[in-house]
Amino acid sequence: MLAVVSWPLLHGLYRLDARGLENLPATGGFVLAANHTSNFDPWPLGLPLWPKRQLFFMGKVELFNPVLGPLLRAGGAFPVRRGGTDLEAIETAVELCRAGNAVGMFPEGTRQAKGLRKKFEHRPRTGSARIAAIAGVPLVPAAIKGTDGLSRLARLRVAYGEPVPTDDLADVSHREAQHVATDRLMERIYALYETL
């Protein structure tokens, strides 16, 4: 229902331009990881996948109040407690991926004021790589631009990249593999962002 209502708004008013859909796995689950500039990011990131798929995503637990909570859940969100490792949220994400769904995540951890953090200014979170590895699904980079200019009716642009290669990380520790995969992921997100 939310996708039906959102489609005219995003495509008409905000002229959503989505590129690289052919890079998304046609079947099976995957983790879709992108930069983060607005609480609005999940909608233009996930709408191009509809009606074939729904994008599920983590949202900070504080947003799940009696008014906003039902709307977020209807849009595919599930709560995460930030500031530590929320094992329940990780298990939910893994289960969704194993069931063939797409799970959206933001490795920067919180919204950024100017599109992207300066490269490696703060270490991105490894949760996206961790969930993809545990679930045994592809880790797919994406970039989004324009959601920080909604009040100016800025055009929304999304680019999806090819899955991050991780086959060569089988012989290193899980922790090191997650850090290497996250570094590769962020490099691809930065490169995609520059194309928008």
Summarize pLDDT for 88-146 with one digit per residue, the tens.
999 999 999 999 999 999 998 765 555 444 444 567 899 999 999 999 999 999 999 98
Q: What does the alpha-carbon distance between residue 165 and residue 71 come to, in Å, rounded to a whole number?
A: 35
Helices (H), 34-163: 42-46, 68-74, 87-98, 127-135
Q: Which of 137-141, 169-173, 186-190 has the lowest mean pLDDT?
A: 169-173
Q: Is 115 left (phi over 0), alpha (psi -120 to 50) or beta?
A: left
Question: Which pTM does this prediction carry?
Answer: 0.87
**Per-residue exposure over 82-113, b if at least 16 CB sit within 10 Å of its own CB, e if not:** eeeebeebbebbbebbeeebbbbbbbbbeebe
Q: Specify the pLDDT at position 72.
A: 83
Domain boundaries defined on the chain: 2-194
pLDDT reading at 170 higher than 50: yes
Which of 1.10.3720.10, 3.60.140.10, 3.10.20.90, 3.40.1130.10 is the CATH number of 2-194?
A: 3.40.1130.10
